[in-house]
Chains A and B, each alone.
Chain A
Amino acid sequence: MDRRKSIKALVVGTLSTGVLIEACKTDDKKQPDQAQPATADAVTRMPEEQVADKELREEKFFTSGELATITVLGDIIIPRDEVSGSASDAKVTEFIEFMANDKPEFRTPLRGGLRWLDLQCLNRYEKQFRDLDEKQQLEMVDEIAYPAKAKPEFKQGVAFFTLMRNLTMSGFYTTEMGVKDIGYLGNRPNQWNGVPEDVLKQYNVAYSEKELKECVSFDKTA
């Protein structure tokens, strides 16, 4: 039995969940149909984790207004482009809402930062941030999006926007859309044959004879 088939046989033979089988399917359309449905999340979670996660999912910390502003900021940070969608397309607001429950240390910086931002906007434009027009929103964001050149009086805003940028990136690039955008191609059964030839050439590196001899390799035609 060749290795590729043996991986499949193992997968089908050993597992009580359908997770691996589902992962294989993306690679191979000839996979038999007897795949069992994916088991519920519960089997990988301790009971106390399940209770805690349920509470975290249900808890509402932010007001609807705060969530609306988080969404506007998220789409400024990660807008739609020719490669992928926006933060709101990837439901980043829901992610940040969950994280503020999961890591309560984010609550005060986020709530206070949102309030800081709205006060700046009220003073400058007599409107809160989310009610500004797009040009005004970007004027305001430009004051706090560049840590090295921001004016001293905007440093608190810089800290808030930096946290929003980082959380938005975490929320976006960990979705199916974001993973595809960044080009991560792993998380599937495969056979590691080393760095592709063209990449070795590009960087002017090569495997030594010792490595080629001693390391595991797989027949690429299998």
Chain B
Amino acid sequence: MGDLQIKKQTKKYDAVIVGSGAGGGMAAYVLAGAGLKVCLLEAGSMFDPATNSSQLKNPWESPRRGARTKYRPFGDFDGAYHGWEIDGEPYIKAEGTKWDWFRARMVGGRTNHWGRISLRFGPKDFKRKSIDGLGDDWPIGYEDVKPYYDKIDRLIGVFGSNEGLPNDPDGIFLPPPRPRLHELFIKKAATGVGVPVIPSRLSILTKQINKDRGACFFCAQCGRSCKVYGDFSSSSVLVKPALATGNVDLITNAMAREVLTGKDGLATGVSYIDKTDLQEYQVYGKTVILAASTCETARLLLNSKSDRHPNGLANESDVVGKYLHDSTGAGMGAIIPTLFDRKRYNEDGVGGLHVYTPWWLDNKKLDFPRGYHIEYGGGMGMPMYGFNWGIEDINGKFLVHGKQKEAGGYGKSLKEDNRYFYGARIGMAGRGESVARRDNYCEIDPTTVDRYGIPVLRFHVKHSEYEFAQARHMKQTFQEIFHSMGAVVTHGNKDSAANDWGLDNPGNVIHEAGTVRMGSDPKTSALNKWNQAHDCRNLFCVDGSSFVSQADKNITWTILALSMRASEHIVEEMKKQNI
């Protein structure tokens, strides 16, 4: 390294945005569209699905046949760069606690590979404390967010069906795809035991909505990101058009170090390290918008200490880093004997489930406070690494073409078994709401820095009895549905306290939220209802960090709606010269 010096940008932007995922991409899109000059900092590299996606590659085009690596934890063709572990960027877990932290480093962030499950929060989801006395109410309600959900439904596109459900609001939906065969089985069985099954709601274009994006062509590979932009990712749907306005300077490989503030305590810009030349830079703006992801945003704020903000920026309330919570997750797998030796046809469909189960029960009658939804998987998918792995646990348990075989085996008989069992496996996954608690938190580790010298996070997160009870209920429900359809459970039904009742580690579902929560009271919240810091009026956080609670709904659609809402507010306030 040469002489270290800090390079200061002379250009002053209207806004400096940190992070180009759902929240940052939307902010850039809205601000640039309104004519404001934006500097968009992204810690990862450039990514455009049209060029960089592995869509339609065959399994043999990967030397590991799609197996996961530390660079691609969801498999070799997945659309996310990096994930649980990044060389030189550690994070710490306090003793006796668990936290899995997925960090995609690329333009568009995790939206390049996510499941596209795009659920609106319902009226109850903003007012949980009023219902069950736990956590806190949001300072806003569904009626405040609904106009923005409507706008992003139209702007981005989502398929689904209007069911008139009280807490799973109707939307402006494209037509959903017809259920696959196993999904018809699931629907029949689940409905029979009182569990509703409705079309899923995914931000995938079953019809073309504008000239810039193609329609879905049903390859089931949304996880790889879509070359024709037939699904939503921030890179293709928000960042690309934002750049086309000419109002955005996108700086990739820019790892934000700190939010800069002036003597008056207001934000003046962001300092960052360029990962390609390892030099230090500062960039200035009239407003700073953080969307670095729930935990990175908290880290940035906690690392932005000054005389005016000795406890970190936006942290006079001392809530930054607190109330960290992820969706709960638990799954179970089974095999459907009636599907053995099934007829072959192209069953890819869209990337993910065509049907799902929204939360359907009343928690007042249950021993846990919040709900969950159920996601379903299965079908005749692309053979990848791990194909029929563990067949020795299956092929002795069922007759194959009427013949009882010894488990395991080899040879022509094994080839017959592989054909016979193909496409008969199904899976269920529950995704539920955990209760945000002050004592689940991240903080700056007192001794550890990353390769850039930036202090890292230490996590203290534990599931509570609420989540364990919810997981037990999920598993009972899954077993009941499987049983009702004549499916035989193959895994996920042997849980106990020793494995946290089958719950995924906190963080593992990658729906983390809550670290810079909004609220009406500056003593108990960091942001106001416009995602604006109580103690720094030109600082906004527009990612999942602002969430008070996260419902049993995947949070991306609400991140997008709240970011659009905050960004339009910023535009208005700038016009009025309030910022």
Given contacts A183-B422, A194-B179, contact A165 B414 (CB under 8 A): yes
Closest partner residue, chain B, to A83 (CB atom): B415
Contact status A81-B178, CB under 8 Å: no
Contact status B81-A46, CB under 8 Å: yes
> Is residue A29 contacting chain B, with contact meaning CB distance below 8 A?
no
CB contacts (< 8 Å) of A214 on chain B: these are 161, 175-176, 199
Given contacts A14-B227, A44-B54, A187-B56, contact A174 B185 (CB under 8 A): no
Contact status A49-B69, CB under 8 Å: yes
Given contacts A6-B215, A20-B227, A146-B408, contact A184 B381 (CB under 8 A): yes
CB contacts (< 8 Å) of A84 on chain B: these are 415
Contact status B184-A195, CB under 8 Å: yes
Number of interface residues of B (CB under 8 A): 86
Closest partner residue, chain B, to A171 (CB atom): B65
> Is residue A95 contacting chain B, with contact meaning CB distance below 8 A?
yes
CB contacts (< 8 Å) of B412 on chain A: these are 79, 81
Contact status A215-B199, CB under 8 Å: yes
What is the CA–CA distance of A165 and B414 in the complex, to the nearest angstrom? 9
Contact status A19-B219, CB under 8 Å: no
Closest partner residue, chain A, to B410 (CB atom): A77
> Is residue B188 contacting chain A, with contact meaning CB distance below 8 A?
yes
What is the CA–CA distance of A56 and B409 in the complex, to the nearest angstrom? 31
What is the CA–CA distance of A174 and B445 in the complex, to the nearest angstrom? 44
> Is residue A52 contacting chain B, with contact meaning CB distance below 8 A?
yes
Contact status A102-B217, CB under 8 Å: no
What is the CA–CA distance of A93 and B304 in the complex, to the nearest angstrom? 54
Given contacts A169-B388, A186-B380, contact A148 B56 (CB under 8 A): no
Q: Which among B178, B228, B349, B391 has the greatest number of chain A C-beta atoms within 10 A?
A: B178
> Is residue B206 contacting chain A, with contact meaning CB distance below 8 A?
yes
Contact status B178-A194, CB under 8 Å: yes
CB contacts (< 8 Å) of B388 on chain A: these are 169, 173
What is the CA–CA distance of A19 and B58 in the complex, to the nearest angstrom? 11
> Is residue B166 contacting chain A, with contact meaning CB distance below 8 A?
no
Contact status A11-B228, CB under 8 Å: yes
What is the CA–CA distance of A216 and B60 in the complex, to the nearest angstrom? 32
Q: Which among B31-39, B337-345, B521-529 touches the partner chain?
A: B337-345
8 Å CB contact of A215 from B50, B53, B175, B407 = B175
CB distance from B291 to the nearest CB of A (A): 22
Contact status A192-B50, CB under 8 Å: no
CB contacts (< 8 Å) of A95 on chain B: these are 63, 65
Contact status B181-A14, CB under 8 Å: no
> Is residue B66 contacting chain A, with contact meaning CB distance below 8 A?
yes
> Is residue B174 contacting chain A, with contact meaning CB distance below 8 A?
yes
Contact mask for chain A residues 89-109; partner B; CB cutoff 8 A; 1 contact, 0 none: 000000100110011000000
CB contacts (< 8 Å) of B406 on chain A: these are 146, 148-149
Contact mask for chain A residues 170-200; partner B; CB cutoff 8 A; 1 contact, 0 none: 1101111011011111111111111110110
What bracket does the count of chain A residues touching chain B fall in? 35 or more
CB contacts (< 8 Å) of B350 on chain A: these are 192
> Is residue B148 contacting chain A, with contact meaning CB distance below 8 A?
no
CB contacts (< 8 Å) of B392 on chain A: these are 147, 162, 165
What is the CA–CA distance of A182 and B376 in the complex, to the nearest angstrom? 23
What is the CA–CA distance of A166 and B77 in the complex, to the nearest angstrom? 21
CB contacts (< 8 Å) of B63 on chain A: these are 53, 56-57, 95, 98, 102
A95-137: which residues lie under 8 A (CB-CB) from chain B? 95, 98-99, 102-103
CB distance from A136 to the nearest CB of B (A): 15
What is the CA–CA distance of A74 and B191 in the complex, to the nearest angstrom? 45
Given contacts A20-B227, A162-B408, contact A188 B65 (CB under 8 A): no
CB distance from A141 to the nearest CB of B (A): 6
B162-221: which residues lie under 8 A (CB-CB) from chain A? 174-181, 184-185, 188, 199, 206-208, 214-215, 217-221
CB distance from A192 to the nearest CB of B (A): 4
Contact status A187-B348, CB under 8 Å: yes
> Is residue B382 contacting chain A, with contact meaning CB distance below 8 A?
yes
Contact mask for chain A residues 211-222; partner B; CB cutoff 8 A; 1 contact, 0 none: 100111100000
Given contacts A165-B414, A186-B220, contact A193 B227 (CB under 8 A): no
CB distance from A171 to the nearest CB of B (A): 7
CB contacts (< 8 Å) of A216 on chain B: these are 159, 174-178, 206-207
A63-82: which residues lie under 8 A (CB-CB) from chain B? 76-79, 81
Contact status B178-A44, CB under 8 Å: no
CB distance from B127 to the nearest CB of A (A): 30
CB contacts (< 8 Å) of A181 on chain B: these are 415, 418-419
Given contacts A79-B411, A98-B64, contact A215 B391 (CB under 8 A): no
CB contacts (< 8 Å) of B50 on chain A: these are 14-16
Given contacts A174-B66, A176-B60, A185-B346, contact A145 B54 (CB under 8 A): no
Contact status B228-A174, CB under 8 Å: no
What is the CA–CA distance of A171 and B67 in the complex, to the nearest angstrom? 11
Contact status B51-A182, CB under 8 Å: no
Contact status B219-A185, CB under 8 Å: no
> Is residue B318 contacting chain A, with contact meaning CB distance below 8 A?
no
What is the CA–CA distance of A195 and B178 in the complex, to the nearest angstrom? 8
CB contacts (< 8 Å) of A103 on chain B: these are 67
A132-174: which residues lie under 8 A (CB-CB) from chain B? 141, 145-149, 158, 161-162, 165-166, 169-171, 173-174
Given contacts A7-B215, A43-B52, A98-B64, contact A147 B345 (CB under 8 A): no
Closest partner residue, chain B, to A183 (CB atom): B344
Closest partner residue, chain A, to B173 (CB atom): A214
Given contacts A145-B409, A174-B385, contact A205 B188 (CB under 8 A): yes
What is the CA–CA distance of A62 and B301 in the complex, to the nearest angstrom? 51
Contact mask for chain A residues 1-45; partner B; CB cutoff 8 A; 1 contact, 0 none: 001001100110011110110010000000000000000010110
CB contacts (< 8 Å) of B408 on chain A: these are 145-148, 158, 161-162, 165
> Is residue A48 contacting chain B, with contact meaning CB distance below 8 A?
yes
What is the CA–CA distance of A169 and B421 in the complex, to the nearest angstrom? 13
Closest partner residue, chain A, to B183 (CB atom): A195
Closest partner residue, chain B, to A10 (CB atom): B214
CB contacts (< 8 Å) of A211 on chain B: these are 178-179
CB contacts (< 8 Å) of A14 on chain B: these are 50, 214, 227-229
What is the CA–CA distance of A215 and B199 in the complex, to the nearest angstrom? 9
Contact status B179-A203, CB under 8 Å: no
Contact mask for chain B residues 245-257; partner A; CB cutoff 8 A; 1 contact, 0 none: 0000000000000
Contact status A186-B383, CB under 8 Å: no
What is the CA–CA distance of A63 and B70 in the complex, to the nearest angstrom? 27
What is the CA–CA distance of A179 and B383 in the complex, to the nearest angstrom? 7
CB contacts (< 8 Å) of B55 on chain A: these are 19-20
Contact mask for chain B residues 112-137; partner A; CB cutoff 8 A; 1 contact, 0 none: 00000000000000000000000000
A-B pairs, 9 with minimum CB distance: A194-B178, A186-B348, A189-B217, A174-B59, A10-B214, A183-B344, A174-B65, A216-B175, A192-B218
8 pairs across A/B with beta carbons < 8 Å? A10-B215, A19-B227, A174-B60, A182-B419, A194-B178, A196-B343, A211-B179, A214-B199
Interface residues of A (CB under 8 A from B): 3, 6-7, 10-11, 14-17, 19-20, 23, 41, 43-44, 46, 48-49, 52-53, 56-57, 76-79, 81, 83-84, 95, 98-99, 102-103, 141, 145-149, 158, 161-162, 165-166, 169-171, 173-176, 178-179, 181-196, 198-199, 202-203, 205, 207, 211, 214-217
